[in-house]
Amino acid sequence: MENPFDTEERRAFRETVRRFVADEITPYADAWDEAGEIPWELHQKVGALGVFGFGMDERWGGLGFSDCFMQAAWAEELAQCGVGGVAAALGGRSISQHPIQDLANDDIRDRVLPEIISGRKASSLAITEPAGGSDVGGMKTTARREGGQYVINGQKTFITGGMKSDYFVVGARTAEGKLDGISLFFVEADAPGFSRTAIDRKMGWWCSDQATLYFEDCRIPADNLLGKEGQGFLAIVNNFNGERIGLIASMLGAMKLCLKESISWAMERETFGKPLIRHQVIRHKIADMSAKIDMVEAYLNQICWLVNEGRTPVAEISKAKFSASKALEFCASETMQILGGAGYLRGHPVERVYREVKVQAIGGGSEEIMRDLAVRQMGL
């Protein structure tokens, strides 16, 4: 679909990342997923490509600018490798590096941001707890000030990259109160009292790790407080916007992959004496998929334009996120129908896309929470 906001530069960037994904990721992604991890060199190759540097200062190796269209193009093209775990394995840092840049002290920023942005090391965002992820303001992990330190107690779970990351942005309660009782902290994996275990046997995203993190009298320097005490909730919800835009773009990429696989199979496969593409029922499935893709793409372009204008379109982002996961669910299911038994085989990209719909309908703000937020933005 033509993007009215496209420019020469954005087209060139998309072409670069498309080639990168086709050469460096797609041929290996299925094997990585089966093996349960991506090679660490990929973090560094993607770092060298510059995509971890959007919105990050040049002082730490960032690009010194952000462009929502380019960031969305990266997520969309990457999703077309057909293995969502690759984006998840790389992406823990993109949801945690901005709070470090915006809220950490210079010592921390100078030391860790060049490592994260270059892909030499990784960082993760730790908000969700065993007792729940949707109710961010209800988190139970505590951080108590003791002299020059904070002492953290509690658990975080489902933390993407949690087993491999060296650095964590952790939400913890410093006082009672939903909105003003939460603070953010920078925690390093070698902090005393920190440990982690892997979450095994997931439905999808196999080549990315998720972990449960344990904080048992975990002591960190008081200077590791990110921003001010009690202002973590706002920082967390602001940070969600970028994560959600990335997920919408990823889902758009996965939908485009479904359509491509549907069309190529329908052109080739013959039933009842003619190619599937000549059966009206199949043609309608393709029309429906294509229309949903256009709608998500147009919505995403509009959101990117608003973001580039300096706005925070919370309502649009929430509505686009649940619309995209519903549209992806539809496309994945219809593509499986078009492929018949062939799509049911492990290793087929559509089998994986189908398994990976749910994590995108739940993670980063579930469909229910996105609808709730959208209605609240309507003042209701």
Binding site for ligand FAD (CB under 6 A): 92, 124-128, 132-134, 158-160, 205, 210, 359, 362-364, 366, 368-369, 372
2 has which bridge partners? Answer: none
Least distance CB 87 / ligand FAD (angstroms): 11
Q: Which residue(s) pair with 220 in the sheet?
A: 150
CB atoms within 10 A of CB 295: 15
Work out how close the CB of 367 gets to ligand FAD at its nearest, in angstroms, rounded to a whole number.
7
**Which residue, 61 or 84, has its beta carbon nearer to ligand FAD?**
84
CA distances from 210 to 22, 39, 112, 124, 267 (A): 26, 16, 22, 10, 39
H/E run at residue 233: helix 232-268
Write down the least CB distance from residue 156 to ligand FAD, Å. 6
CA distance 221 to 136: 24
Positive/negative CA dihedral, 162, 163, 167, 173: positive
The residue (of 236 and 300) whose beta carbon lies closer to ligand FAD is 236
Closest contact distance (angstroms) between CB of 65 and ligand FAD is 26
Q: How far is the CB of 85 from ligand FAD (least distance, A)?
A: 9
Of 238 and 366, which has the nearer Cβ to ligand FAD? 366
The DSSP bridge partners found for residue 199 are none
Smallest distance from ligand FAD to CB 374, Å: 13
Q: In terms of CB distance, is 169 or 296 closer to ligand FAD?
A: 169
| Nearest CB to ligand FAD, comparing residues 159 and 289 | 159
The whole-angstrom separation of Cα 172 and Cα 152 is 8
User: Which residues, at least 6 apart from 295, have a Cβ–Cβ distance to it below 8 Å?
Assistant: 323, 327
The two tokens of residue 41 are: 């060199």
CB proximity list for 324: less than 8 A, separation 6 or greater: 247, 248, 251, 252, 255, 296, 300, 360
Query: What pairing do the DSSP bridges indicate for beta strands 270-271 and 274-275?
Result: antiparallel
CB of 336 to ligand FAD, least distance (A): 21
Q: Which residues of 1-22 are buried (b: 16+ CB within 10 A; e: fewer)?
A: eebeeeeeebeebbebbbebbe
Smaller CB separation from ligand FAD, 70 or 357: 357
What would the two tokens of residue 53 be? 């540097």
Buried b (16+ CB within 10 A) or exposed e, 228-260: ebbbbbebbeebbbbbbbbbbbbbbbbbbbbbe
Quote the DSSP letter at residue 310. Answer: T
91 vs 104: CA distance, rounded Å: 20
Residue nearest to ligand FAD (CB): 133
DSSP 129: B
As measured in angstroms, the least distance from the Cβ of 279 to ligand FAD is 37
Residue 73 vs 126, nearer CB to ligand FAD: 126
Nearer to ligand FAD, 184 or 258 (CB): 184
Q: Select 61 or 364, whichever has its Cβ closest to ligand FAD.
A: 364
CB of 274 to ligand FAD, least distance (A): 42
